[in-house]
Chain A
């Protein structure tokens, strides 16, 4: 009896041991296992790198954010159109000219649609372009430094929205105006809009070597709103497609007045034809005024040049260059599939998606079968160009991208979902909800000839309860889907900045090898550089004082300066002498009416300081640089105006003076 009890006890222990040890080596095929696997698919282990970069527009922050996929980790916010005190962008003397416009210094914009440069229709990873919507501008970001290196303003535009998309070989980055306006601007009654306002479509060439942008020509179109655009690919290369709304040409209560027509248009522009026309002297040179700002990586400085002329083209003067494709109900997205055959119009107030055929369009043009014209521009018959419709896939279609495997993915704002459908058969294959009210989506390379159809990012307009609350204002939510299988699977939910409107993704392997680590001191051509401590000095020129300062772990040279007087304007030109990866230094001065500087190895930046009082005023390094970071500091002595304290400076009590 006793033995039996013992055996039972032993068995109980064995059983208990089984139960208590979760040895999860063989997961069963139940639902729980699937969701566990989803977490794994978005997991990038500590120290590992993401497979893709995604450049997600910063919306009303004016910037461009860099996230990794599939982790959803934020790596950098690249300042583009807005000042950024962290990086001194738009605060230091070198980058202030980047934000110059014909309206003066504009420290903010609404950044919308990034697009990565392409060669032969495939991502080449040299630059990413993005449009400023409010004060019309196009910026170029160099993908070796991840810095904004060029911004060009667009005259005759307002609400630069159907931008900034590149042609197949980055011949042009293209920008269409949302608002039509008087061209040239003039004082006139608003209700005389109809027939008088114009919509400018801008074609900005990109130098294939250096990437410099030049506004080659603007097509002055009828006074519609131009919403989004995309280039032709492959067979349709040489054409550009623009969605329009407000073909009613309403000027007030557009919510109602711009939603009257059953169909608006997708404008098809044969830009090669217009390019040739302009090259042969066509178009009209129109006096204007716009800024072209270029950052030079050798001098570490930007210059702003005001341009005074633009070539404008009346589409009626170039026969065969522009046609209008009727497309239902205020189309937003205007997306061309990787083959270049299908042009998908997302009529945002329509129940169906409309797909036009490029081949049919050419045939209709050939046959000169027109339904009429708008201000002389031929309108094709809807039935002649329309290839198919995706019937009632959801509510409020906005934007479509492609996976390169014959499928398209469209966002639906009103019904808050992404719908996968098949090109050619137009059947809906899958749908997944988003949280909430999705705007654009992005598949890396998804608007190119060669998409990387593995992930899809849905960028939402509304967040509500997705994250722990942060007061009335919450961040925008994005959801990541794995689209490698038949059905889309949501694997991650992550916050984004400033309401992203669009994004561009690219395999990390295409960018990583080119990413700059330092700027070489020997290549630094900044006019106020000090390439060694020997070159550190202080130079007075009237009331202006130039401090040529260096920084290295962990001291400034000079770190004591005397002889500054009240009323002086002091420029601190600070060079980081480090030549090693990830050793930036910062500098800030008490009471300076500007931001800190954050200076990368080998770089020179400048801040200005106008002392407000006599005394001895400290400055210090703002970026933790070494164990002696807290010792990296200095003093400036400020004397009364006309004082006989001589101009002198030191590091380690070896004093130098000016002459």
Chain B
């Protein structure tokens, strides 16, 4: 029994010795991720600011000049997939100010590729749109802000 142990110990030692210098043996088995809850926590969508360049937006009185800019940009760049009067490829922007935070809206416009992968609401929307992705139309932050202003009037 003892001899067998010794043999085993030598064998193990020889392995470590021969293949030594490798990093793996002890650190390799990193802790498994903690088990995920099966139920996603219900978060307040208005608290979700999304992922992207816009951290905080302070809304003041509606700026009509900005609204007009936003309408033009929306019509040029967004109406292939979004219509005000109905759900088309994606949702209608009507009432969006009650459903989403302004930061989330702008981040979805400016950073859709990352949003549909990481943001829980955007992930769900992608599924609802049968996988039709939100196109990144390369709007500037100023342009996205104008579109947001236009959304406030819908």
In the assembled complex, A13 has its CB within 8 A of some CB on chain B: yes
In the assembled complex, A188 has its CB within 8 A of some CB on chain B: no
The residues in A between 571 and 592 inclusive whose CB is less than 8 angstroms from any CB of B are 577-580, 583
- Complex Cα–Cα for A626 and B15 (A): 50
**B133 near A553 (CB under 8 angstroms)?**
yes
In the assembled complex, A45 has its CB within 8 A of some CB on chain B: no
In the complex, chain B residues whose CB is within 8 Å of the CB of A191 = none
**B135 near A10 (CB under 8 angstroms)?**
no
The residues in A between 500 and 552 inclusive whose CB is less than 8 angstroms from any CB of B are 518, 521-522, 531-534, 550, 552
**A21 near B135 (CB under 8 angstroms)?**
no
**B136 near A580 (CB under 8 angstroms)?**
yes
- Complex Cα–Cα for A580 and B133 (A): 12
Expressed in whole angstroms, the minimum distance between the Cβ of A123 and any Cβ of chain B is 30
Expressed in whole angstroms, the minimum distance between the Cβ of A603 and any Cβ of chain B is 14
**B131 near A6 (CB under 8 angstroms)?**
no
Knowing A23-B19, A580-B137 touch, does A14 contact B14 (C-beta < 8 A)? yes
In the complex, chain A residues whose CB is within 8 Å of the CB of B137 = 578-580
Contact among A14, A21, A25, A533 with B80 in the assembled complex (CB-CB below 8 Å): A533
Which of B43-51, B60-68, B71-79, B100-108 contacts the other chain?
B71-79
- Complex Cα–Cα for A20 and B137 (A): 56
In the complex, chain A residues whose CB is within 8 Å of the CB of B135 = 552-553, 578-580, 583
Expressed in whole angstroms, the minimum distance between the Cβ of A203 and any Cβ of chain B is 42
In the complex, chain B residues whose CB is within 8 Å of the CB of A627 = 130-133
- Complex Cα–Cα for A641 and B3 (A): 100
**B133 near A532 (CB under 8 angstroms)?**
no
In the complex, chain A residues whose CB is within 8 Å of the CB of B138 = 518, 579-580
In the assembled complex, A137 has its CB within 8 A of some CB on chain B: no
**A628 near B10 (CB under 8 angstroms)?**
no
Knowing A13-B14, A17-B17, A579-B137 touch, does A532 contact B132 (C-beta < 8 A)? no
- Complex Cα–Cα for A25 and B23 (A): 13
The residues in B between 86 and 141 inclusive whose CB is less than 8 angstroms from any CB of A are 88-89, 130-133, 135-138
Contact among A9, A18, A533 with B79 in the assembled complex (CB-CB below 8 Å): A533
Contact among B3, B76, B133 with A531 in the assembled complex (CB-CB below 8 Å): B76
In the complex, chain B residues whose CB is within 8 Å of the CB of A577 = 77, 80
Expressed in whole angstroms, the minimum distance between the Cβ of A275 and any Cβ of chain B is 45
Minimal Cβ-Cβ distance residue in A for B131: A627
In the assembled complex, A555 has its CB within 8 A of some CB on chain B: yes
**B7 near A532 (CB under 8 angstroms)?**
no
In the complex, chain B residues whose CB is within 8 Å of the CB of A578 = 135, 137
**A6 near B7 (CB under 8 angstroms)?**
yes
Interface string of B1-27 (1 = CB under 8 A from A): 001001100110011011111100000
- Complex Cα–Cα for A557 and B77 (A): 14
Knowing A532-B79, A580-B138 touch, does A6 contact B11 (C-beta < 8 A)? no
In the complex, chain A residues whose CB is within 8 Å of the CB of B154 = none
- Complex Cα–Cα for A532 and B80 (A): 7
In the complex, chain A residues whose CB is within 8 Å of the CB of B21 = 23, 25
Expressed in whole angstroms, the minimum distance between the Cβ of A9 and any Cβ of chain B is 7
- Complex Cα–Cα for A579 and B144 (A): 14
In the assembled complex, B81 has its CB within 8 A of some CB on chain A: yes
In the assembled complex, A236 has its CB within 8 A of some CB on chain B: no
The residues in A between 1 and 33 inclusive whose CB is less than 8 angstroms from any CB of B are 3, 6, 9-10, 13-14, 17-18, 20-21, 23, 25
- The size of the chain A interface, using a CB distance under 8 A, is 34
- Complex Cα–Cα for A44 and B132 (A): 34
Knowing A21-B18, A532-B75, A579-B77 touch, does A6 contact B136 (C-beta < 8 A)? no
Contact among B15, B77, B81, B132 with A17 in the assembled complex (CB-CB below 8 Å): B15
In the assembled complex, A119 has its CB within 8 A of some CB on chain B: no
- Complex Cα–Cα for A652 and B87 (A): 12
- Complex Cα–Cα for A3 and B3 (A): 9
- Complex Cα–Cα for A628 and B131 (A): 7
- Complex Cα–Cα for A180 and B81 (A): 61
Minimal Cβ-Cβ distance residue in B for A10: B10
In the complex, chain A residues whose CB is within 8 Å of the CB of B75 = 532, 534
In the assembled complex, A299 has its CB within 8 A of some CB on chain B: no
In the complex, chain A residues whose CB is within 8 Å of the CB of B80 = 532-533, 550, 552, 555, 557, 577
In the assembled complex, A594 has its CB within 8 A of some CB on chain B: no
In the complex, chain B residues whose CB is within 8 Å of the CB of A3 = 3
**A9 near B130 (CB under 8 angstroms)?**
no
**B77 near A628 (CB under 8 angstroms)?**
no
Expressed in whole angstroms, the minimum distance between the Cβ of B56 and any Cβ of chain A is 26
Expressed in whole angstroms, the minimum distance between the Cβ of A80 and any Cβ of chain B is 30
Expressed in whole angstroms, the minimum distance between the Cβ of B136 and any Cβ of chain A is 4
Minimal Cβ-Cβ distance residue in A for B9: A10
In the complex, chain A residues whose CB is within 8 Å of the CB of B89 = 555
Expressed in whole angstroms, the minimum distance between the Cβ of B55 and any Cβ of chain A is 23
Minimal Cβ-Cβ distance residue in B for A20: B18
In the assembled complex, A289 has its CB within 8 A of some CB on chain B: no
**B14 near A17 (CB under 8 angstroms)?**
yes
In the assembled complex, A554 has its CB within 8 A of some CB on chain B: yes
- Complex Cα–Cα for A13 and B21 (A): 19
**A626 near B133 (CB under 8 angstroms)?**
yes
**A628 near B130 (CB under 8 angstroms)?**
yes
The residues in A between 138 and 159 inclusive whose CB is less than 8 angstroms from any CB of B are none
- Complex Cα–Cα for A534 and B75 (A): 8
Interface string of A59-94 (1 = CB under 8 A from B): 000000000000000000000000000000000000
- Complex Cα–Cα for A14 and B89 (A): 66
Listed by A's residue number, 17 A-B pairs whose Cβ atoms lie within 8 Å are A10-B10, A14-B10, A14-B14, A14-B17, A21-B18, A23-B20, A23-B21, A532-B79, A532-B80, A534-B79, A550-B80, A552-B80, A552-B81, A553-B135, A555-B80, A580-B137, A580-B138
Instruction: For the A-B complex with A552-B80, A578-B135 known, give 17 more contacts whose Cβ atoms are closer than 8 Å.
Output: A13-B14, A17-B18, A17-B19, A23-B20, A521-B76, A532-B77, A532-B80, A533-B79, A534-B79, A550-B80, A557-B80, A579-B77, A579-B138, A580-B135, A628-B130, A628-B131, A628-B132
